[in-house]
Structure 1
Amino acid sequence: MIKQNARAALATIGTSPSVRILSVTQIDTALIVATEQPDRYFRYAVDTFRLPRAAETDPNQVDPREPGEWILVDQHGDHTDQVARMLADAAAYLAEIGITAENTPIAA
């Protein structure tokens, strides 16, 4: 399921379905997806997505988000395999915006 969510999130930014997913980390309502894309400008990328908050899905909003719609919030890319550094940067960014592992429900 988590890999399907990663593919759905990547599709929102036009990433090819043939991209190689290196890792997917879920932190609360966010996904950090590391990929290898040999045909792109940056061969290695780490994209961070989050689900919309309740206020963002309110139909009274001018441009409401759909529930379950992945929103890109951060991107990192490199020509060399610096994935560990980019993953750490992505997790640090999520912590800055208040999305942390402490909020992540533990699956039974």
Structure 2
Amino acid sequence: MTTHDDDIRAAMAALRADYLTELPAQLESLRTAIDDARRGGWTKDLVRKAIKQAHMIHGTAGSYRFLEISEAAGRLEDALTGIDAGWLPPEDAWPEMQRSLDDAIKALHDADTHP
């Protein structure tokens, strides 16, 4: 016999699995937004688009307990916010941003092979 808690756990597991299938496209969209910002000279509009993408992944991945992906997206969000605010030069932020993107992709691969 299943309990209400079992039903909730099963529903959350299904939502988590669905989100896992969406994550590759979301991370690619984030990478594209960051690349667009770099190519576009870090304009406010392009940086804010990337911040929005990073923020969305940071929060939702954390909610579904993809903590490494959430943390990597959070680092990207912080760096992009620093660029947007003017206190972090993009050239100083880029190496950490690249590492964070790589970390998120690796964590996604690990989550995909060990859900």
**TM-score higher than 0.5 here?**
no
Structure with greater strand share of residues: 1
**TM-score scaled by length of structure 1:** 0.29
Structure with greater helix share of residues: 2
**TM-score scaled by length of structure 2:** 0.28
